[in-house]
Chains A and B, each alone.
Chain A
């Protein structure tokens, strides 16, 4: 088994940059979202297609990032 069609794409989610890496393992697509700065992993998802795995990752990322509080500096 190998990761195939590996790809990374940037999005903006809930006001934060998000990097989503996607790849296929056998028949299943995998996605991993991170928050770019500092690059912490937010979630991993799977799907039957790249789009499906990516959409799930972005939805979960939005749930998590929406809870992030900004404080005045």
Chain B
């Protein structure tokens, strides 16, 4: 992992097996399918549900600072805790949790490379016990919104090409052939993509075993679409979790400091009245 810009944010399944019960380490599983944790998880891991514990359940938003503090406190996390997150779908929502932890300034947060899939495939120990944790009083930092893109920034990026837009959805979602991943509910009124966006599906950053590709492979992948870190880059998908995975790759594995996640994503843009929409393949070559 040493070739990555910030290798300290990744741990292997071997590392987790050896350190899961260290007193200063807290392991958390976050899955797309919240039943996966109950089936069996890394011994000692707590489970967070993305749809109730990692978002505001009333308005569409990430956790507030207070809500984040409550989640960390209830999870026995202190600002000094090494927080290791993993989950299914090659860490989709684990990356979503990682992104929020960074927004609220948690210094030592890491992803388990390969996620739940690799842990299972390696035949590692699983537990159905929910660990009891000692509550803490966690104080988060003020939200670092430089990690998050909002609609006006995305509109500016699309209109003036001030930032690269990376659409990490599948090619069929990108072109507008489908309005949601196959088999999932449609959450937008229109299909297509934000004008100027390049389509680099999130999964291209992963190997078959769920681990991240090498830094060299990742540089080639994004560089071939004109995304080389020379200007800000905004990742988006449908609701912001796949793009948090790509944001993690761009910011921490490739070291693109001005990478942001547009969690409004296509569910926001594809429902906006009057928003420009491009359909079909990406128009033209990557803009410089």
A54 interface contact, C-beta 8 A? no
- Give B178 Cβ to nearest chain A Cβ, in Å: 6
Q: Which residue of B lies closest to A16 (CB)?
A: B182
Please state if B170 and A37 are interface contacts (CB–CB under 8 Å).
yes
Question: When each residue 143-177 of chain B gets 1 if its CB lies under 8 Å from chain A and 0 otherwise, what string results?
Answer: 00000000000000000000000000111110111
Q: Which of B174-230 contact A (CB under 8 A)?
A: 175-184, 186, 191, 201-203
Residues in A whose Cβ lies below 8 Å from that of B242: 38
B183 touches A73 (CB 8 A): no
Answer whether A69 and B179 are a contact pair too, CB < 8 Å, given A38-B173, A38-B203: yes
Determine if A48 is an interface residue (Cβ-Cβ < 8 Å): no
Q: Say whether A40 contacts B89, CB under 8 Å.
A: yes
Contacts of A3 in B (CB 8 A): 40, 120-121, 123-124, 126
Q: Are A70 and B120 in contact (CB under 8 A)?
A: no
Is A71 within 8 A of B179, CB to CB?
yes
CB distance from A54 to the nearest CB of B (A): 16
Stretch in B29-37, B57-65, B96-104 with 4+ CB within 8 Å of A = B29-37
List, in ascending order, chain B residues with CB within 8 A of A71's CB: 176-179, 191
A1 near B127 with CB under 8 A, answer: yes
Asked if residues B183 and A68 are in contact (CB atoms below 8 Å), the reply is yes
Q: Count contacts between A and B, CB distance < 8 Å.
A: 97
- Does chain A have a CB within 8 A of B117? yes
> Is B39 in the interface zone, CB < 8 Å from A?
yes
Which of B125, B169, B280 is the one whose CB lies under 8 Å from A2?
Answer: B125
What separation, in Å, do the CA atoms of A4 and B170 have in the docked complex?
31
Interface residues on chain B, size class: 35 or more
- Asked whether, in the complex, the Cβ of A41 is within 8 Å of the Cβ of B191, the reply is no
Q: Please tell me if the beta carbons of B202 and A38 are within 8 angstroms of each other in the complex.
A: yes
- For A39, the chain B residues whose CB sits under 8 A away are 89-90, 202-203
**With the chains together, A34 CA to B121 CA distance in Å?**
16
* Minimal beta-carbon separation of B285 from chain A (angstroms): 20
Choose among A30, A34, A41 the residue that contacts B39 (Cβ–Cβ < 8 A).
A30
B123 partner residues in chain A, CB cutoff 8 A: 2-4, 6
CA distance A39 to B210 in the complex (A): 11
Whether B184 and A40, one on each chain, are in contact in the complex, defined by CB atoms closer than 8 angstroms, is yes
| A40 CB, min distance to chain B CBs, angstroms | 4
CB closest residue in chain A, given B173: A38
- Beta-carbon contact of A44 and B172 below 8 Å: no
CB-CB nearest in chain B for A2 = B123
> Is B69 in contact with chain A by the CB < 8 A criterion?
no
A window 33-63: CB within 8 A of B: 34-35, 37-42, 44, 61
CB proximity of A48 to chain B, nearest CB, Å: 16
Q: Measured between alpha carbons, how far is A66 from B33 in the docked complex, in Å?
A: 20
29 A-B residue pairs with CB within 8 Å: A1-B40, A1-B125, A1-B127, A3-B123, A6-B123, A16-B182, A16-B183, A21-B117, A25-B39, A25-B40, A34-B89, A37-B172, A37-B181, A37-B182, A37-B203, A38-B181, A38-B201, A38-B203, A38-B242, A40-B184, A41-B32, A44-B33, A61-B183, A64-B184, A65-B183, A69-B186, A70-B178, A71-B178, A73-B176
Q: A64-B182, A73-B176 are in contact. List 4 more A-B contacts (CB 8 A).
A: A38-B169, A40-B184, A69-B186, A73-B279
Binding site for A on B (CB under 8 A): 31-33, 35-36, 39-40, 88-90, 117, 120-121, 123-128, 169-173, 175-184, 186, 191, 201-203, 242, 279-280
